[in-house]
Chain A
Amino acid sequence: MQRTIRLRVNGVSYERTVDVRKLLVDFLRDDLDLTGTHVGCEHGVCGACTVLLNRASIRSCLLFAVQADGAELLTVEGLSSKDGLSDLQKAFWEHHALQCGFCTPGFLMTAQEMLETGQSPNKEEVRQLLAGNLCRCTGYQNIVEAVCDALANREKKAPTGRGGA
Chain B
Amino acid sequence: MMAVGHAKLTGTNVKRVEAPRLLTGRGQFIDDITLPGMVAVAFVRSPYAHATIRGIDVSEALQSPGVLAVLTGEEARLEARPLQAKLHEAPGLERLARTYRIADWYPLAFGRVRFMGEAVVAVVAETRYLAEDAAQKVSVDYEPLPTVTDVKRALEPTAPLLYPEWGDNVMLRADSRYGDPDFAFRDASVVVGETFRTNRCTGLSIETRGCIAAYDPSSESLSLWTSSQIPHVVRMTVAQLMGFPENKLRVIAPDIGGGFGIKSHVFPEEIVVCLLARRVARPVKWIEDRSENLQSAIHARQGLFTVELAASNEGSILGLRAKLVSDAGAYPAYPGTSNEPLHMSVILPGPYRIQNYQYEMFNVVTNKSPLGPYRAVGAPMATYMVEYLVDCLARELKMDPVELRAKNLIRPEDFPYTTATGLVYDSGSYAESLQKILELTNYGNFRQEQQCLRAQGRYVGLGIACYVEITAPGSMFYAIWDQSGFDTVTVRLTISGKINVETGMSCPGQGYQTTLAQIVGDEFEVGLDDVTILMGDSSATPFSWGSHSSRFTVVCGGAARLAARKVKEKLFDIAARFLDVDPDQIEMRNGRIGVRGKSEQELALAEVCKLAMVRPDRVPGSTPAALEATQSYEPPPLTTPNATHLAIVEVDPETGQVQILRYIVAHDCGKMINPMIVDGQIRGGATQGIGNALYEDLVYDEQGQLRTGSLMHYLIPTTMETPDIEIIHLETPSSLTQGGVKGMGEGGAIAPPGALANAVADALSPFGVKVNELPITPERLWRQIQQARERGGVDEGPFRARKNSRSDESGFTGERE
Contact = CB atoms under 8 A, between A and B. Distances in A.
Do A and B come together as binding partners? Answer: yes
Interface of A: 19, 21-22, 29, 34-43, 45-46, 48, 75-77, 79-80, 85, 89, 92-94, 96, 98-105, 108, 127-128, 130-144, 163-164
Contact of A101 (B289, B509, B710, B716): B509
Contact of B22 (A79, A104, A133, A141): A104
Contact of B712 (A43, A85, A100, A105): A43
Interface string B667-694: 0000000001101100111111000000
B24 A164 contact: yes
B659 interface: no
Given A38-B257, A41-B711, A140-B722, A80 B24 contact: yes
Given A76-B25, A101-B22, A102-B205, A42 B290 contact: yes
Nearest to A48: B206
Interface string B3-26: 000000000010110111011111
A102 B508 CA distance: 10
Given A45-B710, A77-B24, A99-B680, A38 B29 contact: yes
Contact of A127 (B16, B255, B688, B719): B719
Given A19-B129, A36-B26, A102-B206, A94 B20 contact: no
Interface string B486-520: 00000000000000000000001111000000000
A110 to B, nearest CB: 11
Contacts of A36: 24-27
Contacts of A102: 27, 29, 205-207, 257-258, 509
A60 to B, nearest CB: 13
A37, A75, A100, A131: residue with the most chain B Cβ atoms closer than 10 Å: A100
A41 B289 CA distance: 7
Chain B, interface size category, equals 35 or more
B510 A99 contact: yes
A136 B712 contact: no
Given A135-B206, A139-B680, 4 more contacts: A45-B710, A80-B23, A93-B15, A138-B684
B256 interface: yes
Contacts of B688: 136
Given A99-B684, A164-B26, A127 B205 contact: no
Given A99-B509, A128-B719, A142-B680, A136 B18 contact: no
Nearest to A96: B676
Contact of B129 (A22, A75, A144): A22
Interface in B115-132: 129
Contacts of A134: 206, 711, 716, 718
A111 to B, nearest CB: 12
Contacts of B18: 101
B24 A140 contact: no
Contacts of A80: 23-24
A22 B128 CA distance: 11
A43 B719 contact: no
Nearest to B21: A101
A96 B205 contact: no
Contacts of A48: 206
A101 B684 contact: no
A139 B26 CA distance: 23
Contact of A43 (B24, B31, B290, B685): B290
A34, A43, A102, A134: residue with the most chain B Cβ atoms closer than 10 Å: A102
A85 B24 contact: yes
A131 B717 CA distance: 9
Given A134-B716, A139-B722, A140-B722, A93 B207 contact: no
A98 B287 CA distance: 23
A76 B258 contact: no
Nearest to A103: B206
Interchain residue pairs A-B with the least CB separation, the first 8: A36-B25, A100-B509, A102-B257, A101-B22, A139-B683, A45-B711, A139-B687, A76-B25
Given A42-B289, A164-B25, A101 B20 contact: no
A45 B709 CA distance: 13
Given A96-B676, A100-B205, A103-B206, A76 B719 contact: no
